[in-house]
Structure 1
Amino acid sequence: MNPQVFREYDIRGVVGRDLDEEFVRRFARAMGAYWVERRVKRVSIGMDARLSSPVFRDILKDGITKSGIDVYDLGLVPTPVMYYSLFRLDLDGGIQITGSHNPADNNGFKIALGKSTIYGGEILKIRDIMERGATAEGSGSACDYDIVPEYIDDVLSRIGACPRRLKIIIDPGNGVGGRTAMEIYSRMGMDVKGICLEPDGTFPNHHPDPTTAEGVEMLKRQVLQDKAHLGIGFDGDADRIGVIDSRGKPVYGDMITTILACEILKKRPGEKIIGEVKCSRVFFDEVRRCGGVPIMARVGHSPMKARLHEENAALAGEMSGHIFFNDRWYGFDDAVYAGARLLEILSAQQDPQAVFDSLPKMHNTPEIRIDCPDEIKFKVVKEFAEYARSISDECVDIDGVRFTRDGSWGLVRPSNTQPVIVLRFEAETDEDLSRIERDTRGYLDGIIRDLS
């Protein structure tokens, strides 16, 4: 058993090498033991479109019901729909089978206990149960349950009137977000066109990640060709959103969150709004200007969700496109719902593009991922953080290191889901941006060479 598959927020690996049927059988029995120990009686299972997902789903159902737990099989659904089932059906837990935005040969499991996803030490407890071979015995039942119509109706019941009919393009990247997004946005009165709609776990058109240039290139072309007001992209399991404006420019998750936050603060001044260490300075400045209390948190959908409830914040968002609403929604990250809330705002404007144009401008990079083996990535970041403290005006080390120098800032942090180190940079001029990125990458390359 490869210990590297037990990651900070989920279990994830390469199918056939890390995750095979025997692994999933052991995992299913371990989940049964984990849940029974915590008095779990009823759970849901959802899955994304990856080729291995149906087989993994069947193995999970068998192992979990043999532990005495009842299973609601949701079928092919976005991860947020599995989260929704926890509230709608008042379940005790759930599993989403998904490789998220990882390559097509990956798959994995996002796990809920109660109404929240588990992470960190709780993931390692499941690994420990698997290693010990502990099981629980019982006789649970399994049933199929199509919750999607209820989810769609609930989303629409929480969205206000949309005065203008906008032309929009959606791209779920051959993942599982197309069905819900097409129906919800159409019923909101939008003129919706979809590309890459058919769920296909080989992802034949492009990688399902709307935060990368390659992941939104088709969407960008379609927006410009059709003269659409905007494009909305989703990752493979539709818990992350990316946006292309009418000029073909990407709008990252931190700026989407900024727009949503400023609208919420019109009605709820003084609310806490959470961003993470990759977010632009603009996010923190604008939340403060609009009367909110900005909070910087560590990256990750599970810790962000926990922090949202801990702070009782109205909204939380990540640059990666995970956006969590504690305002007119249940507090989990949901890209299709986030898109609906954004369309609600834009449709009320005479010029929707002006909403994007009005955001203060900084020169920044997208999220940059450099390859670094899992075995050394944390050591690399730790060594770089020591260097950053010696050259910076300010350092924040809650998640990797975010360092500020002469008005520019950079971030170096180890990914918790992939063998990469994540970087981002922002400055007031292109020249300053190039300098901080060049200096940082040069120093990092040296550390990686030394430790490899």
Structure 2
Amino acid sequence: MLQHFFDPTILRSYDIRGIYEKTLNKEDAFMLGFFYGITVKKKLPTKENPLIVIGMDGRLSSPILEENLNAGLEKSGCEVYRIGLGPTPMLYFASHYFEADGAIQITGSHNPKDYNGFKIVLDQNSFFGDDIQKLGKFAREGYAQTYFGFSKSVSINDQYIKKIIEPIKGINKNLVDKTVVWDCGNGASGPCVENLTKKISGNHIVLYSEVDGNFPNHHPDPTDESTLKILSDKMKEVNADIGIGFDGDGDRIGVIDKKGRPIAGDLLTAFLSNSLEINDKENQTVILDIKSSYVAYDKIISFGLNAEIGKTGHSNIKKRIKEINSPLAGEMSGHIFFADKYYGYDDALYTSIRIISLMSNNINLDKFISTLPKTYVSPEIKLYCSDKIKFQLINRLIDKVLKDYSPENVITLDGVRAKNEMGWWLIRASNTEEAIIVRFEGKSQKDQDKLLMEVKERLKNEGLTWEYS
């Protein structure tokens, strides 16, 4: 019998993630492959060898984890397509392209270099939340039978690039006078960016495209200050029209406009609403996550679309897109999802092409941002709070806020978000860290200060001190 006990800290809400050779190791990869493969076989009892696609990012531990993941899948009787090194969205694309039964990407995303993990798909849907917990329970119980599977290496890079550059077909010549700086951060998107920029008109400066799991130039996070400074400095040097950065596995985008302003994910989503080619806009809803500004919300509505605020988390948003047939969604963190002419998953490379397609039609991001009303928005603030108490704290807060605010001014689907005459504030529990997340936005500096005071007071009443984690 095969049986395994995963470190409980690696079984996260959206994926499986831990520190290599501390909380996560090659045996975990093998056992994940085996028990996931058996899970797929049970769902497809008439299929002798379910097809699973696996890929990996450029972290130093990814090759050994990929090898063991593949071995576990073979042991469960699966047929495995190994697409090798590439961004997570390429893995998602391959899953659709090959009509796979499941897919797994080995990736540490934007975490420090000693982290790694797995993003999982089953039948083109995210495998997360309860699915991951059930898999952990299944492994603890064990399974007696093994099977004979097989694997092969396949190439998908060219097909992926061909697909993601479709939005600029026929308008490529309009980009000849545009300059774009791309920062790959030595992450898995590098080779794909080198490939696609050769197929696009204009002047393209690509930084750090060589994949290096040590991330020698900066942390692979497109919202990190060091990343943005390097990108901004290069843009000034070459007088670029836009700067685009990626996280370690290419599913999150960071953007700087021509005036040197970092663009938050919610405002970028509002801008990208311009690119939707749909007839019945009044029946289409763009999704923003709970941390998003009402400026973005109102701008989307001004385009004749509906807007909805939903749960944070790429898996939650992908699920919601399918539920309401949404053409576009975006998170503050830079996960952007297109489902109008694409597959509905978060793909930073495809998003970059949609931005460039707007540029080619003289719909410029810097002009759009300059038209937006001025508000006073806080950064995303993280306050340390133990996993043991953070959700109970939020539940207590919700009860008290619902007594103080009218129900129509409170959203409780992911923490508590309250709206008043000064603006809004949000307090939620992180699903990936021992932290409470706070954000607020005022109509003036004075309003922002008052919102901060209210948030501090409410957290103080729950015994949480105001110290950044």
- Alpha carbons 2:34, 2:74 under 8 Å: kept: no
What is the SS of the residue equivalent to 2:462?
Answer: helix
TM-score (norm 2): 0.91
Partner AA of 2:433 in structure 1: Q
Instruction: Indicate yes or no: 2:398 matched with 1:385.
Output: yes
- Alpha carbons 1:32, 1:135 under 8 Å: kept: no
Instruction: Indicate yes or no: 2:335 matched with 1:322.
Output: yes
- What residue is the counterpart of 2:414 in the other structure? 399
Deviation at 1:248, TM superposition (A): 1.4
Q: Could you say if the C-alpha distance between residues 398 and 314 of structure 1 is closer, same or farther in structure 2, counting changes exceeding 3 Å?
A: same
- Alpha carbons 1:69, 1:140 under 8 Å: kept: yes
- What residue is the counterpart of 1:126 in the other structure? 135
Q: Residue by residue, what CA displacement relative to the aligned partner does 1:404-431 show, whole Å, maximum 9, x if unpaired?
A: 1223111111121222222221111122
- What residue is the counterpart of 1:28 in the other structure? 33
Partner AA of 1:21 in structure 2: K
Deviation at 1:339, TM superposition (A): 0.7
Deviation at 1:230, TM superposition (A): 1.1
Instruction: Choose which of 168, 184, 187 in structure 1 pairs with 2:196.
Output: 184
- What residue is the counterpart of 1:234 in the other structure? 246
What is the SS of the residue equivalent to 1:107?
Answer: strand
Q: Residue by residue, what CA displacement relative to the aligned partner does 1:105-136 show, whole Å, maximum 9, x if unpaired?
A: 21111111011211111111111111112265
For 2:19 and 2:365, the matched residues in 1 are separated by 42
Instruction: Choose which of 415, 423, 427 in structure 2 pairs with 1:412.
Output: 427
For 1:296 and 1:123, the matched residues in 2 are separated by 25
Deviation at 1:390, TM superposition (A): 4.4
- Segments of structure 1 that go 5 or more residues without pairing to the other structure are none
Q: Could you say if the C-alpha distance between residues 447 and 196 of structure 1 is closer, same or farther in structure 2, counting changes exceeding 3 Å?
A: farther
Q: Residue by residue, what CA displacement relative to the aligned partner does 1:189-248 show, whole Å, maximum 9, x if unpaired?
A: 131112222222222222222123344221122222322111111111111111011121
Partner AA of 1:196 in structure 2: Y
Structure 1 runs, 4 residues or longer, greater than 6 Å off: none
Q: Residue by residue, what CA displacement relative to the aligned partner does 1:170-204 show, whole Å, maximum 9, x if unpaired?
A: 11222111222233244221311122222222222
What is the SS of the residue equivalent to 1:194?
Answer: strand
Instruction: Choose which of 113, 117, 121 in structure 2 pairs with 1:112.
Output: 121
- Alpha carbons 1:402, 1:412 under 8 Å: kept: yes
Q: Could you say if the C-alpha distance between residues 365 and 187 of structure 1 is closer, same or farther in structure 2, counting changes exceeding 3 Å?
A: farther
RMSD: 2.1
For 1:133 and 1:68, the matched residues in 2 are separated by 16
For 1:198 and 1:340, the matched residues in 2 are separated by 21
- Segments of structure 2 that go 5 or more residues without pairing to the other structure are 1-5
- What residue is the counterpart of 1:256 in the other structure? 268
Where do residues 117-196 of structure 1 align in structure 2 (5 Å cutoff)? 117-134=126-143, 136-160=145-169, 161-162=171-172, 163-165=174-176, 166-196=178-208
Greater CA deviation, 428-437 or 75-84? 428-437
- Alpha carbons 1:12, 1:417 under 8 Å: kept: no
Where do residues 51-70 of structure 1 align in structure 2 (5 Å cutoff)? 51-70=60-79
Instruction: Choose which of 7, 10, 17 in structure 2 pairs with 1:5.
Output: 10
Q: Residue by residue, what CA displacement relative to the aligned partner does 1:236-290 show, whole Å, maximum 9, x if unpaired?
A: 1111111011121110111111011133167552222111111110121111111
Q: Could you say if the C-alpha distance between residues 391 and 225 of structure 1 is closer, same or farther in structure 2, counting changes exceeding 3 Å?
A: farther
What is the SS of the residue equivalent to 2:168?
Answer: coil
Where do residues 413-452 of structure 1 align in structure 2 (5 Å cutoff)? 413-441=428-456, 443-444=458-459, 447=462, 449=464
Greater CA deviation, 89-98 or 255-264? 255-264
Deviation at 1:80, TM superposition (A): 0.5
For 1:8 and 1:231, the matched residues in 2 are separated by 31
